[in-house]
Amino acid sequence: MVWNISFAGCGFRSIYHIGAMSCVQERAPRLIQGASKICGASSGCLVAVALTVGIPVGESGSERVHDSLLERLPEDAHLKASGKLCVSLTRVADGKNVLVSEFDSRDELIQVLTCSCFFPVYCGFTPPSYRGVVSKRPINDLSSLAVSRNTITVAPFSGESDICPREGTFNFFEVHYGNVSIQVNTGNVHRICTSFLPTTLQKLAEICRNGYMDALRFLRENGEIHHSFLPEMNQVRP
Please classify residue 128 by burial: count the beta carbons closer than 10 Å to its beta carbon, then call 0-12 exposed, 13-18 middle and 19+ buried.
middle
> How is the chain split into domains, by residue range?
3-220
Q: Give residue 5's pLDDT.
A: 95
Contact predicate 13/156, CB 8 Å: yes
Q: How many residues does the chain have?
A: 238
- pLDDT of res. 181: 56
Strand-pair category, 133-136 with 129-130: antiparallel
Q: What is the pLDDT of residue 228?
A: 44
How far is residue 115's CA from residue 42's CA, in Å, rounded to a whole number?
8
Residue 155: what pLDDT? 92
- Position 83 scores a pLDDT of 95
CA–CA dist 175, 214 (Å, integer): 21
pLDDT per residue of the chain (238 residues) written in tens, 0 to 9: 889 999 988 877 888 999 999 999 999 999 999 999 999 988 899 999 999 999 888 666 555 565 677 788 999 999 999 999 999 887 777 777 888 999 999 999 998 998 888 875 555 556 677 776 655 444 445 544 544 568 999 999 888 889 999 876 555 555 545 455 555 556 656 666 666 666 788 988 999 999 999 999 999 999 988 544 444 434 444 4
Could you give the dihedral angle defined by the CA atoms of residues 43, 56, 157 and 134, in that order, rounded to the nearest 10 degrees? 10
- To which H or E segment does residue 14 belong? helix 14-27
- pLDDT score at 104: 94
Superfamily name and number for 3-220: Cytosolic phospholipase A2 catalytic domain (3.40.1090.10)
